[in-house]
Amino acid sequence: MSTSGISFSGLFSGLDTENIITQLMYLEAAPIRALETKKTMLDYEREALQSVNSSLLSLRDSIKEFKDGLLLQNKATSSDEDVLTATATTAATPGTYDINIINRAQAHRVGSDAQAGNYAGIDDNFQITIAGETFTIDVFNGDTMSQISQRINSAVSGGGVDFTEVGQASLITDPSTGNKTLVIEALDTGTANAMSFVDGANDVLTNLGIFTGLDAIKNELQAAQDAALTINGVLINSSTNTIQDAVFGVTMTLQDDFGNATLTVGLDTEEIVSQVVSFVEQFNTTTDLLANYIGEEPVDEPETEAELKKGILQGDWDLASAKSSIRMKTTGYVDATQLVYKILADIGITSESTVGTLVSDNIEVDEAKLRQALNNDKEEVASLLEGFADQLDSYLESQTKVSMVDTMAGNFYRRILGIDDQQDRIDDNIATWEDRIEALEERYRNQFAAMESYLSTLQSQSSYLLNQLSNLTKSSSSSSK
């Protein structure tokens, strides 16, 4: 019996009505459980399709370099990178070059005498000229060496150039005496960036020990110097240690003050081989994934999530078609316009070797054959790879394109969108069933409550009749006596 939302189970009937209702509702909810199972299986299917889509996208990424036109990048290799390093452009002139470094470029650097105290001369100024820019620095009696250094670094030339754009002033302190040496240096190397100084009327530079008494630099810590080297015996001079286009398309950086190295310039074959190997590995990863899904057997009476997922795409036609198509567009690609390299097998990309009667779905690359083809005709190899990649890319786009518009989405992504729609419809059906079952449960409860009420009434009437019969029996007995 139910009063104010409270259930009384079988007070008069003796039945466990709550348990009976629970069992009835479980039976009535069978369609909901079936719908929820279907929704779960669709989740697993979506997960598998997303995995396939991601793998196909990775395959598409692996051929991007080929589709965009293989970059036939040259590589510059130094026999001793402690002496020389180098890079090369695609236009670099291939060859072998003997490099002899005579000396590296140096930046001009001068210093003062070590100063025990502050500047003790007369107020004055001096000038520094670097790279065509002249800077005037004021110095006052009693200035510390730090103040003089700061004034140099904050100076601005007549042309509006900050001193720190072309030079630098710093202090070096002797820890044993506390004496300070002012160091002034150019930032850029080479004789073109050598510094020149003009002393003031009261000999500031001489008092600081930067000049001798004859207005000549006293403490030249490092002379301005151009780099000098020979390339295959030809003398080259440079204001910097980075030498550009002495060999066309090659940039060399001198790493040591002197030494010898052999520089080899040629096609960066290893980078191209590495790109092809990466494609082959991704092709096989994608093919294996598709084959596993297609051939995976479902588990009879699955008990775990992993077992439920097995066989979710068994025999899937779209997967089988994709597996076949990427294989045919790779090993079956032909470019009849090429003179020598017409198919990928010509450059070493072939079907994987058959083991016994087992035919492999995978491919492999003969790296030595690919290197040889690149050395023979790198342009034809690049053209073959570009044509193959362009065709395969178009197909992969048709399968994987991500778009929320169903008609614009790729095949697999469109299926994923379809699953989303199916699950939305399942949710609507579940909601309808839940409303129906909720109403049915309420009806059952009302019916059981009515039964209990009726039984209660019968019990009351029965008690009354029994009581009346008992009274009549007693009355009859009294009359007899």
Q: Which of 74, 95, 96, 99 is nearest to 85 (CA)?
A: 99
CB atoms within 10 A of CB 279: 25
Asked if residue 42 is part of any domain, the answer here is no
Residues 302 and 350 in one domain: yes
Residues 291 and 391 in one domain: yes
Instruction: Report whether 222 contacts 61 (CB < 8 A).
Output: no
Residues 340 and 425 in one domain: no
Residues 298 and 328 in one domain: yes
- Predicted confidence at residue 5, as pLDDT, reads 43
| 3-state percent breakdown (helix, strand, coil) of the chain, nearest 5 | 45, 20, 30
Q: Which two tokens stand for residue 4?
A: 């104010």
Using a 10 angstrom Cβ sphere, with 0-12 exposed, 13-18 middle and 19 or more buried, the burial of residue 196 is: exposed
Q: Which of 100, 109, 135, 346 is nearest to 228 (CA)?
A: 100
Domain span at residue 13 reads 2-29+414-480
Asked if residue 406 is part of any domain, the answer here is no
Residue 96 contacts by C-beta under 8 Å, 6 or more apart in sequence?
262, 263, 264, 265
Residues 325 and 281 in one domain: yes
At residue 171, φ and ψ (nearest 5 deg) are: -115, 135
To the nearest 10 degrees (0 to 180), the angle between helices 367-400 and 317-331 is: 140
Residues 140 and 9 in one domain: no
Residues 130 and 213 in one domain: yes
Give the chain's length: 481
Final residue of a structural domain among 366, 400, 434: 400
Residues 210 and 288 in one domain: no
Asked if residue 40 is part of any domain, the answer here is no
Residues 381 and 423 in one domain: no
Asked if residue 45 is part of any domain, the answer here is no
Residues 239 and 323 in one domain: no
Asked if residue 234 is part of any domain, the answer here is yes
Give me the tens of pLDDT residue by residue for the chain, a chain 481 residues long. 344 344 445 544 556 677 877 788 788 888 888 888 788 878 888 899 999 999 999 999 999 989 888 777 888 999 999 999 999 988 888 899 999 999 999 999 999 999 999 999 899 999 999 999 999 999 999 999 999 999 999 999 999 999 999 999 999 999 999 999 999 999 999 999 999 999 999 999 999 999 998 889 999 999 999 999 999 999 999 999 999 999 999 999 999 999 999 999 988 888 899 999 999 999 999 999 999 999 999 888 888 888 888 888 999 999 999 999 999 999 999 999 999 999 999 999 999 876 655 668 899 999 999 999 998 998 899 999 999 999 999 999 999 887 777 677 778 888 888 888 887 888 888 888 888 888 887 887 777 777 767 777 776 777 767 776 776 776 666 666 5
- The enclosing H or E element of 451 equals helix 411-480
Asked if residue 44 is part of any domain, the answer here is no
- Predicted confidence at residue 4, as pLDDT, reads 39
Domain count, the chain: 4
Residues 92 and 113 in one domain: no
Asked if residue 472 is part of any domain, the answer here is yes
Final residue of a structural domain among 400, 426, 459: 400
Asked if residue 58 is part of any domain, the answer here is no
Residues 376 and 280 in one domain: yes
Q: Which two tokens stand for residue 408?
A: 């614009």
Final residue of a structural domain among 161, 196, 222: 222
Instruction: Report whether 292 contacts 316 (CB < 8 A).
Output: no
